[in-house]
Chain A
Amino acid sequence: MSFKRRGLYAAFAGVFLLAVFVRPLPAAQPLAETFTLNNGMQVVVIPDHRAPVVTHMVWYRVGSADEPQGKAGIAHFLEHLMFKGTTKYPPGAFNRIIRQNGGEDNAFTSKDYTAYFQRIAKERLGLVMDLEADRMQNLVLKDENVLPELKVVEEERRERIDNDPSSLLSEQIDAMLYLAHPYRKPVIGWMPEVNRLTRDDAIAFYKAHYTPANAILVVAGDVTPDEVRKLAEEHYGKLANTFDVTARMRTEEPEPIAPRRVTLTDARAASPVVQRAYLSVSYATAAKGEAEALDVLAELLGGGATSRLYRKLVVEKRLASYAGAWYSGDGLNSGIFGVYGSPVPGGAVEPVEAEIDAILEDIKANGITEDELARTKATLIADTVYARDNQGTLARAFGSALTTGMTVADVLAWPDRIQAVTLEDVKAAAAKTFDDRRSVTGVLLPAAGAPAGGGEPTDPTPSNSTQQ
């Protein structure tokens, strides 16, 4: 029996992973339309008339990778503070108005974006636009609201990271994978820096990044593009930009030259796990077809019980209890390809790691089969059809793509581009990606003397995002 705390945390537990598993949509019918307001704010509309509700999201092209030196966590802290009142509405009013109108709302921050959303009856779309447009420009922060919220964020960090050894290991891996690029920092920030964040830090960050031309509006649900255009012009179109939006400049990551390794021994770890992360390309940085090939590669290597890693490590050789792979291709500046395995009870990580290496080497040398390629493509494309069942999933897919260097057309064409992946593309992507020098290997070990056993990583994909 396990209960989850409802509301703030549990209700949105799945949200941040979706950003990683962007599965855009088939182009069979126009699923989404896009246009831009006079002030440069882009709008995406995804009609879905099955229920009289809408999902309204405003995404900002700013995340933890855009933070000033020494201010780790300010992007996420500001996201919390955006609920603390404006010149028009006092602290607490935002949530209360949404609640009084039968809506749900929350927000989340990743390394590349910050997003705010409401789910509400369609008649209330104008109301939520009014509130969201207001807090884009009129935020008012007072220490009496800021100081308790900083404590809340510290608790959030303790709850999600410090109380959980596998989250701590992921944080260490990121910090080693990137020597210079700000992706090395956790979204929520390192505790010593979080402790010292102030009201002035938040206001400075807000003034530097929150403006219509740096924002994207995504509306999914029981509306037409014309209805959204009219309301968006009324509420967002009248906002003037407060600064010129320029390209995001981030420290460039040097070419990696040496494999790195980190071992975390923690009494709270129930069982050992080995995780490997390869610094890789993303959709925004890849050559044509390369990121798509990595999505195919991740699915066939480790997407489920019929994947290569699972069949070999878990079923045939019985070395591991769990094994898999993932590809996070939605970074603005780079991507990560990950593999992981956890030994069977009583087993050690070394043979698991050795077998993973052997499987990766085999793919580099011999590629994959025509049959594997066809099956994997079919799975990925079927997932895009399933994604159409949920307007929230669709809205997140578009928002995430548009804040990480992709376009609406890219998202719509994704199934076709997956379909175009060849055997050679996959082999070449494997050869380029599975290079030791680009890797960090992280091992989680229970404390000496603790009972040995395999363990399922809580969340083998990077928890790349954190929410209010």
Chain B
Amino acid sequence: MRPLRPFFAALAIVAIHVLPAQAIEIKEVKSKGGITAWLVEDHTNPLIAMQFSFSGGAVNDAAGKEGTANFITAMMDEGAGDLDSAAFQAKRDELAMKMSFDASFDRFQGSFQTLANRRDASFALLKLALAKPHFAQEPLDRVRDQLLVGARRKEEEPDTISSRAWMAKAFADHPYARETDGTVKSIATITAEDLKAMHKQLFSRKGLKVAVVGDIDEATLARLLDETFGDLPDTDPPKAAPMFHVDGKPMTEVIDRDIPQSIITFGTDGMLRADPDFIPAYVASFVLGGGGFGSRLTEEVREKRGLTYGVSIGLYSFDHAGLVFGQLGTRNEKAGEALGVVKDTMRKFAEEGPTAAELAETKTYLTGSYALRFDSNSKIARQLLAIQEDNLGIDYINRRNDMIDAVTLDQAKVQARRISEPDKLIVTVVGKPEGIKSDGQ
């Protein structure tokens, strides 16, 4: 790292007490029907954003039917209630309502936006999609074709190939090794009955979490929560994935592709979001490889040596496994050198940990930039949903910066050793890398 010059002294380490909480009041709204949502009222613009999720997702896809939950995400605007596909989409456009869905391993998430003056009609259309989707054969066949071509395309994308190979190696038979989007083979076998069965499992009030931000008041939201979600069954969410720890045995796999730039994915076991040391580990991971400029990996691999356009490493937490996961792209001739620099940087970081200056600088960045996550309705709603999903508590936004500030150098050093394990890396490379070979070659 470049030593701190005197002029930094004046600017450095000025705590910025811009807590987003100053501007954000979160209300917990409970409907008569017992549905809870977190609400931030903001009447600046005539817009309402809602984020919601159901427990369960791609881990609940049946074996051989990977991609079922993802298939549902693509069918949500293809007909519901008394509206066929074309009529539903025409209605949505007429209302200028926006909705989209995403199935991750552990959750089925929905994102919804409406203009305030079309509020009730837009919520009613969303309700139809959630409660009474058709999964009719015509749109289903068409959507299947789209999913198939999407799957084929992903099978050719270098970073996807690299990440997927990594997940397959790390998770072996665990559901997290699966393709959330499905494969060409599995997508071909999914039927309307599969979608209906999965829909019934996933869309339950018990697994529902809701965050709403914008031009709406408590009473109106309480009413709309019941109207929108109240008809969903109160059944238990589907079974979660078993806990899993990634093996500490280093592995390397090269996937040969004729491309000019090798994509290198590297990582190890990490930690759950609920881990008591998550915050100090997060701070340490940021010093090593987070947030772009200034991290050790960016300095060593990009700034000093020009080996990549982007390199990072970070903590990824699923409900039942955690990862330390990184990626970089570099010209084939330099692949071995770049991976060597990554490992050396990680080794040094594990041994020494962050410096006091790095820790202080990272804390001011992380605390100061937290407010940037709260400058639009949609972004606030995403934050509120994530905080609920991770069970961090409704006061988390107020506490979060204090927790970052409280991280000590000793704690950060301990966590640096824990997250930076170059000798345990699972490495997958796509391309024609020089200086990297698959195990056993």
Q: How far is the CB of B248 from chain A (nearest CB, A)?
A: 21
Chain B interface, DSSP helix/strand/loop, else mixed: mixed
B294 near A375: Cβ-Cβ < 8 Å: no
B309 near A155: Cβ-Cβ < 8 Å: yes
Asked whether A382 and B115 contact (CB < 8 A) given A52-B371, A96-B8, the answer is yes
Complex: A115 Cα to B377 Cα, angstroms = 26
A102 near B145: Cβ-Cβ < 8 Å: no
A2 near B160: Cβ-Cβ < 8 Å: yes
Query: What is the total number of residues of chain A having a CB less than 8 Å from a CB of chain B?
Result: 91
Write 8 A-B pairs (CB below 8 A) sorted by A numbering.
A6-B291, A50-B42, A92-B294, A102-B366, A221-B375, A322-B146, A391-B376, A458-B153
Complex: A267 Cα to B259 Cα, angstroms = 10
Q: How far is the CB of A388 from chain B (nearest CB, A)?
A: 5
The residue from B18, B49, B115, B159 contacting A52, defined by CB atoms under 8 A apart: B18
B368 near A345: Cβ-Cβ < 8 Å: no
The residue from B164, B291, B330, B371 contacting A155, defined by CB atoms under 8 A apart: B330
B372 near A104: Cβ-Cβ < 8 Å: yes
* Among A64-72, A142-150, A416-424, the stretch in contact with B: A142-150
Q: Residue B94 at the A interface, CB < 8 A?
A: yes
Q: Which residues of B have CB within 8 Å of A149?
A: 306
Q: Which residues of A have CB within 8 Å of B244?
A: none
B376 near A455: Cβ-Cβ < 8 Å: no
The residue from B142, B180, B331, B377 contacting A158, defined by CB atoms under 8 A apart: B331
Complex: A267 Cα to B155 Cα, angstroms = 12
A268 near B306: Cβ-Cβ < 8 Å: no
Q: Which residues of B have CB within 8 Å of A155?
A: 261, 306-309, 329-331
Complex: A83 Cα to B298 Cα, angstroms = 14
Asked whether A7 and B290 contact (CB < 8 A) given A152-B308, A155-B261, the answer is yes
Contact with A along B339-377 (1 / 0, CB 8 A): 000000000000000000000010011111111101111
Complex: A117 Cα to B144 Cα, angstroms = 41
Q: Residue B316 at the A interface, CB < 8 A?
A: yes
Complex: A390 Cα to B42 Cα, angstroms = 14
Q: Residue B46 at the A interface, CB < 8 A?
A: yes
Asked whether A96 and B361 contact (CB < 8 A) given A101-B16, A101-B368, A345-B149, the answer is yes
A5 near B105: Cβ-Cβ < 8 Å: no
B306 near A389: Cβ-Cβ < 8 Å: no
Asked whether A1 and B179 contact (CB < 8 A) given A100-B361, A305-B77, the answer is yes
Q: Which residues of A have CB within 8 Å of B113?
A: 386
Q: Residue A261 at the B interface, CB < 8 A?
A: no
Q: Residue A405 at the B interface, CB < 8 A?
A: no
Q: Residue B304 at the A interface, CB < 8 A?
A: yes
Q: Residue B11 at the A interface, CB < 8 A?
A: yes
B361 near A99: Cβ-Cβ < 8 Å: yes
B180 near A1: Cβ-Cβ < 8 Å: yes
B291 near A151: Cβ-Cβ < 8 Å: no
* Among B85-93, B219-227, B416-424, the stretch in contact with A: B85-93
Q: Which residues of A have CB within 8 Å of B263?
A: 163
Q: Which residues of A have CB within 8 Å of B153?
A: 270-271, 455-456, 458
Residue from B86, B290, B327, B369 having most chain A Cβ neighbours under 10 A: B369
Given A6-B290, A101-B14, A375-B93, 17 further pairs, Cβ under 8 A: A7-B293, A7-B298, A11-B292, A48-B44, A50-B375, A51-B375, A92-B303, A101-B364, A103-B369, A155-B261, A159-B310, A162-B260, A163-B260, A304-B89, A314-B142, A389-B49, A390-B378
B142 near A391: Cβ-Cβ < 8 Å: no
Q: Residue B314 at the A interface, CB < 8 A?
A: yes
Q: Which residues of A have CB within 8 Å of B86?
A: 306, 311, 315
Q: Residue B45 at the A interface, CB < 8 A?
A: yes
Q: What are the 3 closest A-B residue pairs judged by CB atoms, nearest first?
A: A102-B368, A151-B306, A7-B292
Interface residues, chain A, with chain B CB atoms under 8 Å away: 1-11, 48-53, 83, 89-93, 95-97, 99-104, 106, 119-124, 127, 147-156, 158-160, 162-164, 221, 267-271, 304-306, 311, 314-315, 318, 321-322, 342, 344-345, 375, 378-379, 382-383, 385-386, 388-391, 451, 453-456, 458
Q: How far is the CB of A274 from chain B (nearest CB, A)?
A: 14
Q: How far is the CB of A201 from chain B (nearest CB, A)?
A: 17
Contact with A along B93-132 (1 / 0, CB 8 A): 1101010000001000000010100000000000000000
Q: Residue B284 at the A interface, CB < 8 A?
A: no
Q: Which residues of B have CB within 8 Å of A53?
A: 18, 371-372, 375
Q: Residue B68 at the A interface, CB < 8 A?
A: no
Complex: A305 Cα to B93 Cα, angstroms = 9
Q: Residue B196 at the A interface, CB < 8 A?
A: no
Q: How far is the CB of A26 from chain B (nearest CB, A)?
A: 10
Asked whether A391 and B329 contact (CB < 8 A) given A155-B307, A455-B149, A455-B152, the answer is no
Q: Residue B150 at the A interface, CB < 8 A?
A: yes
Q: Residue B439 at the A interface, CB < 8 A?
A: no
A99 near B158: Cβ-Cβ < 8 Å: no
Complex: A436 Cα to B409 Cα, angstroms = 67
A99 near B294: Cβ-Cβ < 8 Å: yes
Complex: A375 Cα to B94 Cα, angstroms = 7
Complex: A83 Cα to B294 Cα, angstroms = 12
Complex: A152 Cα to B328 Cα, angstroms = 12
Query: What is the total number of residues of chain B having a CB less than 8 Å from a CB of chain A?
Result: 100
Once A and B bind, how many residue pairs between them come within 8 Å at the CB atom? 272
Q: Which residues of A have CB within 8 Å of B7?
A: 89, 93
Q: Residue B148 at the A interface, CB < 8 A?
A: yes
Q: Which residues of B have CB within 8 Å of A267?
A: 258
Q: Residue B13 at the A interface, CB < 8 A?
A: yes
Residue from B306, B314, B361 having most chain A Cβ neighbours under 10 A: B306
A102 near B367: Cβ-Cβ < 8 Å: yes
Asked whether A5 and B293 contact (CB < 8 A) given A121-B368, A163-B260, A382-B96, the answer is no
A5 near B328: Cβ-Cβ < 8 Å: yes
B369 near A315: Cβ-Cβ < 8 Å: no
B325 near A123: Cβ-Cβ < 8 Å: no
Q: How far is the CB of B310 from chain A (nearest CB, A)?
A: 4
Complex: A123 Cα to B11 Cα, angstroms = 13
Q: Which residues of A have CB within 8 Å of B331?
A: 154-155, 158
Q: Which residues of B have CB within 8 Å of A270?
A: 149, 152-156
B23 near A50: Cβ-Cβ < 8 Å: yes
Complex: A208 Cα to B48 Cα, angstroms = 47
A389 near B5: Cβ-Cβ < 8 Å: no
Q: How far is the CB of A141 from chain B (nearest CB, A)?
A: 15
Q: How far is the CB of B172 from chain A (nearest CB, A)?
A: 14
B312 near A5: Cβ-Cβ < 8 Å: yes
Contact with A along B365-408 (1 / 0, CB 8 A): 11111111011111000000000000000000000000000000
Complex: A389 Cα to B349 Cα, angstroms = 41
B305 near A148: Cβ-Cβ < 8 Å: yes
The residue from A95, A269, A456, A458 contacting B146, defined by CB atoms under 8 A apart: A456
Q: Residue B140 at the A interface, CB < 8 A?
A: no
Residue from B146, B291, B293, B369 having most chain A Cβ neighbours under 10 A: B293
Q: Which residues of B have CB within 8 Å of A104?
A: 369, 372
Q: Which residues of A have CB within 8 Å of B179?
A: 1
B46 near A385: Cβ-Cβ < 8 Å: yes
Asked whether A2 and B146 contact (CB < 8 A) given A89-B7, A375-B94, the answer is no
A1 near B164: Cβ-Cβ < 8 Å: yes
Find the A residue at minimum CB distance from B153.
Answer: A270
Q: Residue B51 at the A interface, CB < 8 A?
A: no
Q: Which residues of B have CB within 8 Å of A148?
A: 302-306
Find the B residue at minimum CB distance from A156.
Answer: B309
Q: How far is the CB of B288 from chain A (nearest CB, A)?
A: 12
Q: Residue B441 at the A interface, CB < 8 A?
A: no
Find the B residue at minimum CB distance from A90.
Answer: B5
B364 near A102: Cβ-Cβ < 8 Å: yes
Complex: A119 Cα to B184 Cα, angstroms = 42
Asked whether A305 and B365 contact (CB < 8 A) given A50-B44, A97-B11, the answer is no
Q: Residue B311 at the A interface, CB < 8 A?
A: yes
Q: Which residues of B have CB within 8 Å of A154?
A: 331
B13 near A379: Cβ-Cβ < 8 Å: no
Complex: A96 Cα to B115 Cα, angstroms = 40
B361 near A269: Cβ-Cβ < 8 Å: no
The residue from A119, A391, A453 contacting B148, defined by CB atoms under 8 A apart: A453
Q: How far is the CB of B178 from chain A (nearest CB, A)?
A: 8
